[in-house]
A = this chain, B = another copy of it.
């Protein structure tokens, strides 16, 4: 077969969806409000361990060589024609948020497995090896640091620092890796793939609203998180004339409106996003002016310079509000990650693959963090997004991509992997 013929290969959609359902049954629970099944499979929990054992067994049944590294990442290797060439790696994670869905992470791992199963069915061997990966604790919900496994594997986070992270009960990552039997022997930091490709649900509304089949992910936004503590004076809503007030709630409202204004116009680019997600007044009573507000600011921007300007301007605005409303504002940055720009050639490979399968596609920015952003530090990398129903809702039991949506993504992944795996040095 030529490469051209290979890129028109199709996966077995039923087998893919069956795998997603089977893994999704581990940690499944019934969400009463939405009347759907959700997934509770926190990193290094008994449910995660059960999921890991299932996935490992599937990898082995597909004829792959499985190894586990010191941070618990699972790698499954398929031999290529030239074993001296670096492999093409594809994967994601199988841990979930506390009340998640079946697709976030799982589609990337089981999609890569379906790619290999399809190649096995057709007895196709690529030039380069193919490695499927399932990374430890991408969500960060239990130990507080997301993309943990891939960050350790690619050198951003030191292994010992990762080992020392604790959950709410004081259990460490290392203890829990040992407890579930996934403290592997392979040293971290030794793998340098030829390329990394990850398929993931979009977790946003853009593709489904525009009727686009495939998102070609251009990169990941930089993130800047701030916790604001605004202190005014709590006072009686009836007895306190407006001129005497130091209304912490009004200060938070002004800042929220300003955040929205910052996302209109072009000063910070067209992809600037800002959200005040936490708003917690004290007291919280109908006839009392809030004396204190805890609020959070979440800024996203794919351009580091624009993000820097936005942060500066926000600081200036906080100063302005302090003076205008007579409140005090304590602002603390609680997270900051730079923007990631994915590799152009891999994006083009994804576009080519989508065209081959006659799928509509458009370039799109990732709004959330992904394992792929860690691998982009060591090899050429990009991601494939598939749309989801319910406005692309994710981290929620209502997360849902149809068999067709999943198959579109994994058919594209199949074509991209086979194309990249046939590349020379």
- Point out residues on A near B: beta carbons under 8 Å: 202-206, 209, 221, 223, 225, 227, 233, 235-242, 244, 247, 249-250, 252-254, 256-257, 260, 263-264, 271-273, 275-281, 283-290, 293, 296, 298, 300, 334, 366-369, 391-395
Of all chain B residues, the one with the shortest Cβ separation from A204 is B239
Q: How many Å lie between the Cα of A288 and that of B202 in the bound state?
A: 15
Please name 8 pairs of A and B residues whose Cβ atoms are closer than 8 Å in the assembled complex, sorted by A.
Answer: A204-B239, A204-B241, A206-B244, A233-B391, A238-B273, A239-B368, A286-B296, A286-B298
Q: How many Å lie between the Cα of A239 and that of B290 in the bound state?
A: 31
A284 touches B289 (CB 8 A): no
| Residues of B contacting A288 in the complex (Cβ-Cβ under 8 angstroms) | 275, 277, 395
Least Cβ distance of A81 to chain B in Å? 39
| Residues of B contacting A277 in the complex (Cβ-Cβ under 8 angstroms) | 237, 249, 281, 283-290
| Residues of B contacting A237 in the complex (Cβ-Cβ under 8 angstroms) | 273, 275, 277, 298, 300, 367
A205 touches B238 (CB 8 A): no
Of all chain B residues, the one with the shortest Cβ separation from A289 is B275
Given contacts A249-B279, A286-B278, contact A242 B254 (CB under 8 A): no
B279 touches A284 (CB 8 A): yes
Of all chain B residues, the one with the shortest Cβ separation from A220 is B238
Given contacts A284-B280, A286-B298, A287-B275, contact A250 B256 (CB under 8 A): yes
Q: How many Å lie between the Cα of A392 and that of B289 in the bound state?
A: 14
Of all chain B residues, the one with the shortest Cβ separation from A276 is B249
Of all chain B residues, the one with the shortest Cβ separation from A256 is B253
B257 touches A203 (CB 8 A): no
Please state the number of chain copies in the assembly. 2
A235 touches B204 (CB 8 A): yes
Residue of A241, A272, A283, A368 contacting most chain B CB atoms (<10 Å): A241
| Residues of B contacting A250 in the complex (Cβ-Cβ under 8 angstroms) | 256-257, 260, 276
Given contacts A236-B204, A289-B277, contact A257 B260 (CB under 8 A): no
| Residues of B contacting A290 in the complex (Cβ-Cβ under 8 angstroms) | 277, 279
A284 touches B273 (CB 8 A): no
A244 touches B284 (CB 8 A): no
| Residues of B contacting A235 in the complex (Cβ-Cβ under 8 angstroms) | 204-205, 391, 393
Of all chain B residues, the one with the shortest Cβ separation from A283 is B277
A238 touches B368 (CB 8 A): yes
Q: How many Å lie between the Cα of A244 and that of B210 in the bound state?
A: 11
Task: Choose one: B241, B393, B394; the contact of A273 (CB below 8 Å).
Answer: B241
| Residues of B contacting A287 in the complex (Cβ-Cβ under 8 angstroms) | 225, 275, 277, 298
Least Cβ distance of A69 to chain B in Å? 28
Least Cβ distance of A168 to chain B in Å? 16
A367 touches B240 (CB 8 A): yes
| Residues of B contacting A260 in the complex (Cβ-Cβ under 8 angstroms) | 242, 247, 250
| Residues of B contacting A223 in the complex (Cβ-Cβ under 8 angstroms) | 238
Of all chain B residues, the one with the shortest Cβ separation from A296 is B286
Q: How many Å lie between the Cα of A366 and that of B204 in the bound state?
A: 51
The 6 closest A-B pairs by CB, nearest first: A239-B367, A204-B239, A238-B367, A253-B256, A237-B275, A253-B253
Of all chain B residues, the one with the shortest Cβ separation from A260 is B250
B204 touches A221 (CB 8 A): no
